[in-house]
Amino acid sequence: MHLSRFSRLHFAHLPTPLEPMPALSKELGGPNLWIKRDDCTGLAGGGNKTRKLEFLIADALDQNADTIITQGATQSNHARQTAAIAAKLGLKCHLLLEDRTGSDKVDYNYNGNVMLDQLLGASLIKVPADTDMDVAMKSLADDLGSEGKKPYIIPGGGSNKIGALGYVNAALELVHQANSQSLKIDHIVHATGSAGTQAGLVTGLMAMNSQIPVLGIGVRAVKEKQEGNVFALAERTADYIGAPGVVKREDIVANCDYVGDGYGIPTDGMREAVTMLARSEAILLDPVYSGKGMAGLIDLIRNKEFADDANVVFLHTGGAQGLFGYREAFNFPAYD
Ligand SMILES: *Cc1c(COP(=O)(O)O)cnc(C)c1O
């Protein structure tokens, strides 16, 4: 597995730290908890999409694109990171933001990632929930193409075989770090959405024969659909890196019991997890992904799903900028 065979730009701050969480481990009385800080990838707030964009934007430049089109929910971290790298490279960026939650809150619609998208100079288009986003992006690309622009479409979450290479690379990085710290990782847990993170990670780990199981905590789809999406992309990614068949269906495991009422809708478990991580480790999670992922991990620890002496790594996929879109979900008291 030699990733230098693929076009890539280098703008992420790598390697991201791999740190212990002693206070949280103590508070939960549970396994040894570690955190892989992919919230610290550096690009205008960072997050997991930055690793994918190193490969995706390289491909866009190979194709002489001058305009980037992508999509996400209103508070999409992927959209914000895409706007950031486009700004840095002088590319025009169009973001189609799907109104998935129907929230009419001012913070949700204008603060957090949305404010940063605007600050970074992207052009924003709001589209109704359940729009076919791929069709909407294609039609925008056709319009821009007829004006003489060279648009490049990045799928939602940057999740295709090119973007997933970012997480194949993250698997190499994490195993290398663990080896040099003599840390035997028993489990990796992270939030899974558009599937690219888990697909790339599992493909990299399996291609290395690392034997480390990955558990994705779903934030939107039901288990069957989520695992199916991740597996399909993992198969394509494995083919792409020249390791066909290296990922088996049973290597893809998602737990989708922590979604609550739907994508981007706060849950009590999320509020508890975000608050607990802030107050025990001074780590900022996000309300949509890492907060629900950590809520799942905390619940599974309480249910004794992990051995007391296991080493569990939580992959922090970023997103804290989204907190500012969700101020009211935390309902903090007035002060005077
Ligand atoms: C996009 C995102 C995820 C999910 O990653 P996928 O590759 O889409 O599955 C997790 N956490 C955060 C903060 C994200 O922005």
pLDDT tens track for 203-262? 999 999 999 999 999 999 999 999 999 999 999 999 999 999 999 999 999 999 999 999
**Catalytic choice (76, 103, 194, 290):** 76
Q: Give the predicted TM-score (pTM) of the model.
A: 0.98
Which residues lie with the beta carbon below 6 Å from any ligand 1 atom?
A: 47-48, 77-78, 157, 159, 191-198, 286, 289-290, 317-319
Which one of 40, 49, 70, 215 would you pick to mutate in the ligand 1 pocket, going by the greatest count of ligand atoms within 8 A of its CB? Answer: 49
Task: Say how many Å lie between the CA of residue 325 and the centre of ligand 1.
Answer: 17
Which residue has the CA at smallest separation from atom 1 of ligand 1?
A: 157
DSSP, collapsed to helix, strand or coil, labels residue 207 as helix
Ligand 1 atom closest to the Cα of residue 156 is 8
Q: Buried (b) or exposed (e) across 175-189, using 16+ Cβ within 10 A?
A: bebbeeeebebbbbb
Which one of 55, 70, 77 would you pick to mutate in the ligand 1 pocket, going by the greatest count of ligand atoms within 8 A of its CB? Answer: 77
Task: Say how many Å lie between the CA of residue 266 and the centre of ligand 1.
Answer: 16
Q: How confident is the model at residue 190 (pLDDT cuts 50, 70, 90)?
A: very high
53, 229, 41, 61: which is closest to 157 by C-alpha?
Answer: 53
pLDDT digits (tens, 9 = 90+) for 76-131: 999 999 999 999 999 999 999 999 999 999 999 999 999 999 999 999 999 999 99
Q: Is 76 a catalytic residue?
A: yes
Distance CA 30, CA 20 (A): 13
Task: Say how many Å lie between the CA of residue 82 and the centre of ligand 1.
Answer: 13
Distance CA 126, CA 98 (A): 6
CB 325 within 8 A of CB 111: yes
